[in-house]
Amino acid sequence: MSENQQHTLMDKIISLSKQRGFIFQSSEIYGGLKSAYDYGPLGVELKRNIMNEWWRSMVHERENIIGIDASIIMHSKVWHASGHLAGFSDPLVDCLISKERFRADKAPQPKLGDELPILCMDKGQAKSFQEIIKKRFNVELKRNGKKLEGLKVISNDSFGFFTDDSNTPLETFQFKGYVSPTFGSPFLSEERQFNLMFRSQIGPVDVLNEISSFINKSEKINEKEIRSGIDEIIKKSAVYLRPETAQAMFVQFQNCQQSMSMKIPFGIAQMGKSFRNEITVEHFIFRSCEFEQMEMEFFVEPGTQKKWLEYWRDARMNWWQSLANNPNKFRYRPHEKDELAHYADACYDIEYEYPWGYDELEGVASRTDYDLKKHEEHSGSKLSYFDQQKQDPETGKNGWRYTPYVIEPAAGATRGLLVYLLDAYHEEKIPNSDGSESSRVVMKFHPKIAPIKTAVLPLVKKEGLPEIARDIVSKFFKAGINARYDEQHSIGKRYRRHDEAGTPYCITIDGQTKEDGTVTIRDRDSMKQERMNAENVVDIIQKKLSLS
Ligand code: GAP
């Protein structure tokens, strides 16, 4: 796919999402909140269907997995123990010219001898950046349309300013090894650590009061001391929005295992919201600050983790593929040693071929006994397992107490939703009755995740047809099938609308229905229509849905 086509597909998905009610920009009437999205009438159904399918396949269909629904705000010691408070941070840098803030570890890294053009949005911006650079750094870069030229990397830690006719730099500056991603600017601030967790305060403590009296009482202290003093005050009542759903499963390991008499190997599953103050928010809902996860911690005997890692890698891959039109767009990628998270001894990413290339959809990690051990250490509670049937490998005696190892399939539910939007999107040319062609957009969702399962459409809004249609809809409701009554616009427009919503079956009530009690069922993908008895329609759709 060319770069242009990639952009177009993403643009089309974003526009269809808004038009059809899948996803809206959060707080749009106030100008929108960056990186926050609202799931509209079709989006909420699609998201729930994906998550319910995950729950069914992970919890309901397995006797060795149980579920929990833990609170989003947990004790702050949880995040100390898990390492998130210490290590959950990104190195951040500001461009001194454009004020762009970005992650240093993700920035482009020009090589020795490379030119460093500053790429502006337009000529006006080029002029203004040229002036800022002249004022702050005392060099006048050459303006070439939207580009500012004259900078070049001269060593690992320096870049220089050159004029057209000189090979020696007129001025040199410290080079950090990377440039800002949007403008390519090497004029950068120092790196700062930035915690990705959203912090808030719990309880009746008046933090502002404590801070102001601390500042009031402190004489002659420097900025660093003020900062650390304020930090100490805030920390006392600080709580954090969870950045992953996983930790609750470790913290509740003992309660879950004992209350349900679970035997190893067994798993605890949870799905729900997670929050990260992401610096790089990108690709629509791919990376956002508020998102949903579907995670499962599978507790296994030490030494068996490799076998279970492979088992879950394959099981999870099969699940994603089973709901997709294009299973060949998924692949897995083992992590290199240097990209493993601090708690993992091995990991596979399940990746999808997004319009910008292969990228992560789910991580399946072998998390060792790191988390249980850490929580045991910080809480003082025993988080181990006793197997009466096994011999302790160290003593040779019957009965073995050990800290289980953990395999964790951790998927993004909202990211999965983006994958299935991309996977479902189809444009087709279809013949008209007069021999000409028109095009239709059809969202070929797997019927299990389709937001609306069937639409019931009276051909006209009179002659008793709406009453028959509503009666059929109520039968679908009784059968637990999400059906929708729809009488707005011509029948052709309604079919197109439901093609774009991804509704697998449309049932049309027409004049003949009144004569012989039959209706037509239109298949979304083939557009073929079958006529059948209205009495059987709920059973038939039910059968089609369960067979799909
Ligand atoms: N407990 C392990 C864990 O949270 P992760 O790779 O950071 O691992 C798991 O997250 C999945 O959650 C990712 O594969 C991705 O699908 C989803 N995810 C993570 N950060 C996200 C974000 N900012 N926006 C949307 N989805 C995200």
pLDDT per residue as tens digits for the range 191-227: 877 788 999 999 888 899 999 999 998 888 888 788 8
Residue 91 has pLDDT above 90, yes or no: no
Check the CA dihedral 373-376-379-383 and report its sign.
Answer: positive
Question: What pLDDT sits at residue 7?
Answer: 63
The answer to whether residues 535 and 517 touch, using CB atoms and an 8 Å cutoff, is yes
Decide: 152 in ligand 1 pocket, CB within 6 A: no
Banded model confidence at residue 4, pLDDT cuts 50, 70, 90: low
Give Cβ neighbours of residue 411 (< 8 Å, ≥ 6 apart).
54, 293, 294, 295, 316, 350, 361, 362
How far is the C-alpha of 45 from the C-alpha of 447, rounded, in Å? Answer: 12
Choose one of 50, 242, 291, 354 to mutate for the ligand 1 pocket test, by most ligand atoms within 8 angstroms of C-beta. 291
* Nearest CA residue ID for atom 2, ligand 1: 410
Percent of all residues in the chain with a pLDDT value above 90, rounded to a whole number: 80
74-78, 123-127, 316-320, 403-407: the lowest-pLDDT one: 123-127
Percent of all residues in the chain with a pLDDT value above 70, rounded to a whole number: 97
Collapsing DSSP to helix, strand or coil, 66 comes out as: strand
360 CA from centroid of ligand 1 (Å): 9
Give Cβ neighbours of residue 180 (< 8 Å, ≥ 6 apart).
93, 95, 98, 100, 102, 107, 188
Task: From 200, 179, 24, 183, select the one nearest 109 (Cα to Cα).
Answer: 179
> What is the C-alpha radius of gyration for the chain, rounded to an integer number of angstroms?
29
Residue 490 has pLDDT above 90, yes or no: yes
101-105, 106-110, 133-137, 353-357: the lowest-pLDDT one: 101-105
* Nearest CA residue ID for atom 7, ligand 1: 244
Question: What pLDDT sits at residue 182?
Answer: 87
Banded model confidence at residue 121, pLDDT cuts 50, 70, 90: confident
Question: What pLDDT sits at residue 5?
Answer: 59
Average pLDDT over residues 505-518: 96
How far is the C-alpha of 300 from the C-alpha of 290, rounded, in Å? Answer: 31
437 beta partners: 431
Collapsing DSSP to helix, strand or coil, 544 comes out as: helix
Question: What pLDDT sits at residue 2?
Answer: 56
Collapsing DSSP to helix, strand or coil, 227 comes out as: helix
How far is the C-alpha of 146 from the C-alpha of 157, rounded, in Å? Answer: 27
Residue 86 has pLDDT above 80, yes or no: no
